[in-house]
């Protein structure tokens, strides 16, 4: 009887130690999933970024993740981001245990709009402009956009884009027509003098009659060719858009 009890005691302590060790390992794995330093590779994404978050049509945009191998073996991490549900070019990085690296891929868009980037399970937003806007800078005080439409009895009268401005210096205007990721210079004009008083304007003929819509970009430069304002808009027939001093946009019926 005593021999049987001695044998059971002999094996009881090692079994208790093994059981406690296994229980501790399971608890640690549940508490910190993927943190094991044994076995194969395990990857943890520590950061995600899109640069720039505001871009122009055709501009290269970088999507980057910082990833670390928290496993116990060397392995290859594959980065497969998506833009609006479409797969982007994938990139790979081979990482040793505890090694971290940045993995970057690139894309560009041909149309302006909002785009959602899915990077390693999280969404990031990018706004793509036809032309990235620059709001009025001193000495330019304000810019008002408006479209002057012909009356029905004047079908051959030009439809004109008018920019009312005020500035503490002379100004140069550049008008572009936008299409896809291309811009075509249509006209250059100047308002000369030490100041551009209220009521002065630059004009661009958009076409005869009543065009449906046209995408136009405008750059306004100072005397030293320094950029004071830049913006692109799609102008619709029968609509006037006014960019006021506080950058709010108002729409109203066209005037003759």
Q: CA end-to-end span of the chain, whole Å?
A: 115
Q: Exposed (0-12), middle (13-18) or buried (19+): which is 217, by Cβ within 10 Å?
A: buried
Sign of torsion over alpha carbons 33, 34, 35, 36:
positive
If you compute the radius of gyration of the chain from its CA atoms, what whole number of angstroms results?
Answer: 32
Instruction: State the pLDDT at residue 247.
Output: 38
Query: Any residues with CB less than 8 A from the CB of 155 and at least 6 apart, and which?
Result: 208, 209, 210
Tell me the per-residue pLDDT of 111-170, one tens digit each, with 9 for 90 and over: 889 999 999 999 999 999 888 889 999 999 999 998 887 766 566 777 888 999 999 999
Q: 139 by DSSP, 3-state: which? A: coil
211, 159 Cβ separation under 8 angstroms: yes
Average pLDDT across the chain, whole number: 80
Q: Rounded distance, CA 159 to CA 208, Å?
A: 6
Q: From 53, 113, 51, 47, select the one nearest 79 (Cα to Cα).
A: 47
Tell me the per-residue pLDDT of 179-212, one tens digit each, with 9 for 90 and over: 766 788 999 999 988 889 888 899 998 877 555 6
Tell me the per-residue pLDDT of 28-46, one tens digit each, with 9 for 90 and over: 444 444 444 458 999 999 9
Instruction: State the pLDDT at residue 160.
Output: 86
Domains and CATH numbers, the chain: 43-129 (2.60.40.10), 140-253 (2.60.40)
């Amino acid at each position: 009887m005593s021999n049987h009890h001695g044998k059971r005691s002999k094996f009881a302590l090692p079994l208790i130690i093994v059981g406690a060790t296994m229980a501790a390992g399971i608890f640690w794995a549940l508490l910190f999933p993927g943190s094991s330093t044994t076995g194969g590779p395990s990857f943890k994404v520590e950061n995600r970024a899109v640069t720039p978050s505001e871009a122009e049509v055709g501009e290269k945009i970088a999507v980057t993740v910082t990833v670390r191998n928290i496993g116990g073996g060397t392995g290859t991490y594959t980065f497969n981001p998506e833009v609006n549900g479409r797969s982007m070019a994938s990139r790979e990085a081979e990482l040793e245990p505890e090694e971290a690296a940045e993995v970057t891929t690139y894309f560009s868009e041909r149309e302006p709009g909002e785009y959602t980037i899915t990077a390693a399970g999280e969404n990031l937003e990018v706004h793509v402009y036809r032309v990235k806007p620059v709001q009025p800078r001193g000495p330019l005080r304000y810019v008002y956009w408006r479209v002057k439409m012909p009356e029905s009895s004047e079908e051959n009268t030009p439809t004109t884009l008018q920019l009312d401005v005020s500035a503490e210096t002379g100004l140069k205007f550049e008008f572009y027509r936008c299409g896809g990721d291309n811009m075509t210079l249509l006209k250059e004009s100047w308002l000369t003098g030490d100041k551009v008083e209220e009521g002065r304007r630059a004009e661009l003929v958009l076409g005869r009659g009543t065009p449906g819509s046209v995408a136009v970009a405008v750059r306004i430069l100072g005397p030293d060719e320094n950029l004071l304002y830049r913006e692109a808009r799609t102008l619709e027939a029968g609509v006037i858009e006014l960019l006021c001093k506080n950058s709010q946009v108002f729409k109203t019926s066209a005037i003759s």
